[in-house]
Structure 1
Amino acid sequence: MLESFEGIVLFMRPHREKDALVKIFTQTHGTKMFFVKGLQALNHPLKQHCIPMSQHEYIGTIHSTGLSFIREAQTLDIHRKIQMDPILQAHAAYLCQLVDASIEDNQPDSILYQFLAKGLQMINRSDEARPFQIAAEVQLLHRFGLAIDWDRCVFCHNHEGPMDFSMQQQGILCERHFNEDPFRLQLRPQAIAVVKLLSKTAFEQIGNIKLSEPTYQDIRRLMHEIYRDMVGIHLKSETYLEEIYKFMRITNDFPFRES
């Protein structure tokens, strides 16, 4: 039975010689895999509606299990700046993969859908996507079962002064309790301050945050440790992002400002 539904394309994967599998986060049915016959043809009528990180209104057949099908579509937002900018595109792809990893297929979740939609909108409007990446990583942790308090020391609940992160304690240490974990991450205080801020800031309220290279690298190390050791995932799109920024550091191809 045909029905209308809104969705965001997470990824497209070639299937056989000319067909494709397209994973779409639908607003009403959760994440679903769609089979699109002949999509790899240059003039396929649905081609522009299956571009990753774009948002559309679809008409098709939704199945509770197995593959679903698209009959026609109308574009809501192609996110053109993301499509044209390889760095923004890499950040948007990582956001899509992270959201996809945080939800089971076929589970409707309008809150998470709006979270992804707003994230893509804000990345598309920005020139600096890293704060949105950090906000997404921190704010999605609860969906992986982690409830980290970024405001207070795990021992004394102090919320002032320099802070660091302890993987052993799975939380924040204030300066008075640094000696409780000799293997604490030894992050710059600015890194913890940025994570604390972005842990409770909506995408549309982030504004024009500028991150220094050292601060961003500390946050990357923190998020990598948490997602690898506490969540248990490492996404390919994160590795690609790391390679992009590594190349840019080597070539000094972009300015960093102190935060």
Structure 2
Amino acid sequence: MKTVETRGLVLYNQNFRESDKLVKIFTEKAGKRMFFVKQAKQNKLTPVIQPLVGADFIVTLNEDGLSYIQDYREVQVFPNINQDLFCLAYATYVCALSDAAITDRVNDPHLFQFVVKTLELMEEGLDYEVLTLIFEVQILERFGVSLNFHECAVCHRTDQAFDFSFQYSGVLCPSHYDQDPRRSHLHPNSVYLLNRFKEVRYQELSSIRLNEGLKAELRTFMDGMYDYYVGIELKSKRFIQSLKDWGEVLKTPEDK
């Protein structure tokens, strides 16, 4: 075992035995690790073992079993996210997706920083639905999926109104729509945004505004893409859908 200091983000915790907890932390220096916290309710670590809490952790890492948290400092919390049930649901999904994207104990500081920055922008008030779409597009490569939204898969033209083809794992221009009768029939602006999402860097973003129609189409497409190419089903994703269903039920006639 070795002791290191590393930035970390709590992904989740779960009860273990009568009063202990297992805490999953995505660390910047050592990847995702499971930590054992004894007497969690009376422990000095209680404030920093809650989901979506970041800190500089001093930890003892065990390569063969559970690791241990020795101390912490520089705590980071996200009060605005935690006060908004919908935003919290999307933030939780982003964390769960990062957990699914790489195996435990694999060091991936770039993914760690990407997750934290996504949460920070949600905390600042940027559109959490759009940030989640950007995160989903850019993390696809961690699942071994590389898609082309930039040029026609047949003729390689880059200046057309594209549509996405699952058959070609890329886009087709109008001259080659007939190559895939089951193409997605996306609005050209949606394909343009998918290409932008794949390349955008968060430091370029000061605001994000999309109309509800485009967001809805992109969400439906992204769900289908993850079902087709990745094939994972996360509880946090199902919870988002349940929230949307309840939102529709609670709408007044004037809202609909």
Fold in common (TM above 0.5): yes
Q: Deviation digits for residues 123-160 of structure 1, max 9, x if unmatched?
A: 11115211110111111111111221211111111222
Contact 1:60-1:71 at 8 Å conserved across structures: yes
Cα 1:245–1:189 change in 2 (3 A) is farther
- Closer, same or farther in 2 for the Cα pair 1:125/1:45, shift >3 Å? same
If the length of structure 1 is used for normalisation, what is the TM-score? 0.90
Residues of 1 paired with 2:177 and 2:239: CA distance? Answer: 33
* Distance (Å, rounded) in 1 between the aligned partners of 2:128 and 2:24: 23
Aligned residues of 1:198 and 1:206 also touching (Cα < 8 A): no
1:6 maps onto 2:36 in alignment: no
Shift of residue 203, structure 1, vs aligned partner? 2.3
Q: Superposition pairs for residues 24-35 of structure 1, below 5 Å?
A: 24-35=25-36
State the shift of 1:251 in Å. Answer: 3.6
**Which consecutive unaligned segments of at least 5 residues does structure 1 have?**
none
Match of 2:224 in 1: 225
Counterpart of 1:143 in structure 2 is: 142
> How many Å apart are 1:247 and its aligned residue?
2.9
Change (3 A) 1:250 1:176: farther
Asked whether the equivalents of residues 48 and 75 of structure 2 are also in contact (C-alpha less than 8 Å), the reply is no
- Which residue identity lines up with residue 114 of structure 1 in the other structure? Q
Cα offset for 1:204? 3.2
Deviation at residue 20 of structure 1 after TM alignment = 1.0
Task: Report the 3-state secondary structure (helix = DSSP H, G, I; strand = E; otherwise coil) of the residue aligned with 2:244.
Answer: helix
Q: Counterpart in 2 of 1:154?
A: 153
Distance 1:61 1:8, change over 3 A: same
Give 1:252 deviation, angstroms: 4.2
Instruction: Please give the per-residue CA displacement for 1:54-94, whole angstroms capped at 9, x wherever unaligned.
Output: 21111231111211111222243112211222122111111
TM-score by length of 2: 0.91
Question: Using the alignment, how far apart are the partners of 1:237 and 1:9 within structure 2?
Answer: 15
Q: In structure 2, how many angstroms separate the alpha carbons of the residues matched to 1:84 and 1:72? A: 27
What's the counterpart of residue 90 of structure 1?
89
Contact 2:126 2:207 (8 Å CA) reproduced: no
Mapped to 2, the partners of 1:175 and 1:243 lie a distance apart of: 37
- What SS does the aligned partner of 1:158 have? coil
What CA distance in whole angstroms lies between the structure 2 residues aligned with 1:247 and 1:164?
A: 32
Question: How far apart are the structure 2 equivalents of 1:35 and 1:176?
Answer: 59
**For residue 152 of structure 2, what is the amino acid of its counterpart?**
C
In the alignment, the residues of structure 2 paired with residue 137 and residue 6 of structure 1 have an alpha-carbon distance, to the nearest angstrom, of 23
Whole-angstrom CA distance in 2 between matches of 1:203 and 1:2: 32
Matched residues in 2 for 1:122 and 1:205: separation? 12
Count of aligned pairs? 252
Distance 1:126 1:48 in 2: 24
For 1:247 and 1:186, the matched residues in 2 are separated by: 29
CA distance in 2, matches of 1:8, 1:220: 26
Identity of aligned pairs, percent? Answer: 31
Following TM superposition, the consecutive aligned residue runs of length 4 or more in structure 1 with deviations greater than 4 angstroms are none
AA matched with 1:15: F
Alignment partner, residue 17 of structure 1: 18
What is the SS of the residue equivalent to 1:152?
A: strand
Cα deviation code 1:180-207 (max 9, x no counterpart): 1111121222221221211111123233
